[in-house]
Amino acid sequence: MIIKRLFSSMVKKSLQELGDDIPTIGISSAFKKTLNKYNTKVQVNFSPESKTILQEKPVILVSNHPYVVEPFALLAVLPKREDVFIIAYSLLTGISSQLDKHIIPAYVRHHIISNKVGLLSLLVRELEKDKGSQLSAAESHLKNIESIRKASQVVSHGALVMIFPNPGKLTSDNKWFNGIGYLVKGIKNKKNTYIMMANIAGSSKYDFLRIVPVINRLFPAISVIFSSPLLCSTIVGQQSDPKKITSILENRYNNWIASLIR
């Protein structure tokens, strides 16, 4: 019990400090500063073309997210831009008003709790104690529809949105959630919107210990590799079925990952 409360307190404090840095140094630099504070190094690999697109164009950035640290690493290596949004667990909202400006909430508590994912589930229960009443699965579904609509809107207006469609260790089913298909369907100008993929390695189920001094020095660096950018219209064509769009993107992502290890 005491350990759970301690980690909950440390996570909140870290996110509050991170949020305080955003107005002065920007969101990417704020995440990089936070990782440096906890001795977490991130190695990144992308082309000059990819860097330009990540910095200037409407982008859906799709990444794996098997454990905890991946979103931190991905945000830390992005080129500087203000219109960056991340589809992230709703539990992370309400901790920092500055960070909230960049979060599009995903309501996935019912997935985590119902599947009893060990330490993550315990931490979730501790963090949610001051969130009040919890949403049902049906209510969460409606909220998620609203969030995906917002994600489509901000991308349509030129922003970058990060999404993690693979639940990773969140559930026993490793298939992608269909939210990404609905996100893509809702984009107004697919001919001017890019889809990029990222693969993050070096994380583990013990990532939460990266916030513990001394112990965090034992962890390996995180590596981030970006795919070449492709226009959304090139990848999904005229497909309008969100589930089929999800399948197209999932297959393309898996094939790209396979090409990295050949």
Mean pLDDT computed over every residue of the chain: 88
The pLDDT assigned to 118 comes to 54
In this predicted structure, the answer to whether residue 236 has a pLDDT above a threshold of 70 is yes
Range of the domain at 250: 2-260
Average pLDDT over every residue of 170-185: 84
CB atoms within 10 A of CB 126: 18
Could you please report the per-residue DSSP string of the chain? -HHHHHHHHHHHHHHHHHHHHHHHH-HHHHHHHHHHHTT--EEEE--HHHHHHHHHS-EEEEE--SSSSHHHHHHHHSPS-S-EEEEEEGGGTTS-HHHHTTEEEE--HHHHHHHT-HHHHHHHHHHGGGG-SPPPHHHHHHHHHHHHHHHHHHHHTT-EEEE--S-GGGSS--SPPTHHHHHHHT-S-GGG-EEEEEEEES--TTGGGGGSTTGGGGSPPEEEEEPPPEEHHHHHTT---HHHHHHHHHHHHHHHHHHH--
**Residue 43 — pLDDT band, cuts 50, 70, 90?**
very high
State pLDDT tens for residues 101-131: 999 999 876 665 555 555 555 565 556 655 6
Categorize the per-residue pLDDT at 89 as very low, low, confident or very high, splitting at 50, 70 and 90. confident
The CATH number for 38's domain is 3.40.1130
Q: Averaged over 197-212, what is the pLDDT? A: 91
How many domains does one find in the chain? 1
CB atoms within 10 A of CB 108: 19
* 92 vs 121: which has the higher pLDDT: 92
Counting every residue, how long is the chain?
A: 262
Asked if pLDDT for residue 54 goes beyond 80, the answer is yes
Mean pLDDT across 63-78: 94
Report pTM: 0.91
Section 31-56 average pLDDT: 94
Q: Give the pLDDT score at 68.
A: 85
- Of the listed ranges 117-126, 138-147, 201-210, the one predicted with least confidence: 117-126
